[in-house]
Amino acid sequence: MAGNCSRPVKAVIFDLDGTLLDTESLVRSVSATVLERHGAKLTPDAEKAALGRRPLEAWQAVIEVLDVKGSTAQQLFDESEPLLQARWPDAHLLPGAERLLHHLHAKGVPVALATSSSRASLQRKLFTENKRHILEQFQAVTCGDEVAEGKPAPDAFRNIASQLQLDPADCLAFEDAPSGVDSATAAGMRVVVVPSLTNRLAYPKPEIDAKSGCCEVLSSLLDFQPSQYGLPGFEDLICGVTPMHPPWRLVGTVVKGFGRGSKELGIPTANLDNSALQAVLAETVTGIYCGWASIGSSSETYKMVMSIGWNPFYKNTEKTAEPWLLHDFPEDFYGEQLRLAVCGYIRPEANFTSLEALIARIHEDARISRSALQDPLLVQAQRLCMTAG
């Protein structure tokens, strides 16, 4: 069993960037652009050093890792900030964020935010029509410019515990960045890690019964089980499927994949071009999902089940989206536009001991999808994939 109830949780504290909100992909893109102007290239080590820190401290970490000459953290911040401010409204909530926040709020569990973002940046990130309600659910908020020391120092999380008048040991923190995990751990809190770095070795090894520090590492907030921490459990599963709030819409061109779907698995999947993924999903978003699909100019919809990720069994080096449309088609449709409405989450990616076990699990995922997609709540998502474009 993951997680622990040895000391039931009385409040849940979230980081923002990379945990609730997909700002990391925007930051990565802007940072790479700014660094190129200064003759440097963003590397995974530089990303790891900067992740979760306050902006000036993040840029200073990047300068030190990359040995950027002739530039200060303030200069790089001044160049990057206008580019980021223009893009903050485009940042999406990460999978499971809205569901978890709404659930905890509805059950009367205190929810708080400990972010490295400045108060002004926080307002710009969340004060959009579809995200403004998120900020209203927090009973306490601490921003990076409101504490003496930023993450990995414990100031932000200690400040939140003080505002809530709780012992830090009674709080459960959610973090995506190694520096944030260190911060919450130093404050004396248990930490659920939802990594925004693909390199899991950058994070502490989870200890299920930890009294503080990393107690669980999840692929997504959709995998979190509140009851394992003494919190009210979810009550929204449909045939074992987690409804997506809101559903995603993915649009892309069908491209040739690895050639193993029909040949090795007997399962004809339709690979989407990578640009479709990069435009909508954070790099670390993976899992098995269900929903609806439409092809080309047709408005006809088909049930589908889809894997997103690196497929641990085949050890892919490139992230893919491989939907299996649960319908027999007379011919291939390479080059056609494929529109997907992803409305349900089935499970995280997993490895298998044999090809037969993988095939059996895919067919079980299809069975679950067919059943869940008969529910009226998930049927509503069909409209998202009917219109071309």
Residue 314's alpha-carbon distances to 104, 175, 240, in angstroms, are: 37, 29, 26
Residue 71: count of CB within 10 angstroms of its CB: 18
Closest CA to 173 of 148, 149, 1, 182: 182
By the 10 Å C-beta count (0-12 exposed, 13-18 middle, 19+ buried), 363 is classed as middle
| Three-state DSSP class for residue 257 | coil
Both structure tokens of 138: 């927090």
Question: Active-site residue 322, yes or no?
Answer: yes
Type of residue at 258: F
Question: Active-site residue 17, yes or no?
Answer: yes
Rounded distance, CA 344 to CA 11, Å? 27
Rounded distance, CA 102 to CA 126, Å? 16
Residue 376: count of CB within 10 angstroms of its CB: 7
Rounded distance, CA 146 to CA 173, Å? 19
Question: Active-site residue 15, yes or no?
Answer: yes
> Which of 175, 216, 223, 322 does the annotation list as catalytic?
322
> Which of 17, 22, 175, 176 does the annotation list as catalytic?
17
Q: Angle, nearest 10°, between helix axes 155-164 and 178-186?
A: 50
**What is the helix (H) or strand (E) element at residue 379, kind and residue range?**
helix 376-379
Rounded distance, CA 235 to CA 228, Å? 14
Give one word for 112, left, alpha or beta, with left for phi > 0 and alpha for psi -120 to 50: beta
Residue 297: count of CB within 10 angstroms of its CB: 8
Sheet architecture: strand order including 320-325: 271-272, 242-255, 337-347, 287-295, 302-309, 320-325
Do the beta carbons of residue 145 and residue 49 sit within 8 Å?
no
Residue position matching structure tokens 């659910």: 137
Residue position matching structure tokens 């011919």: 331
Rounded distance, CA 250 to CA 10, Å? 38
Q: Angle, nearest 10°, between helix axes 55-66 and 24-37?
A: 50
Residues with a catalytic annotation lie at 15, 17, 322
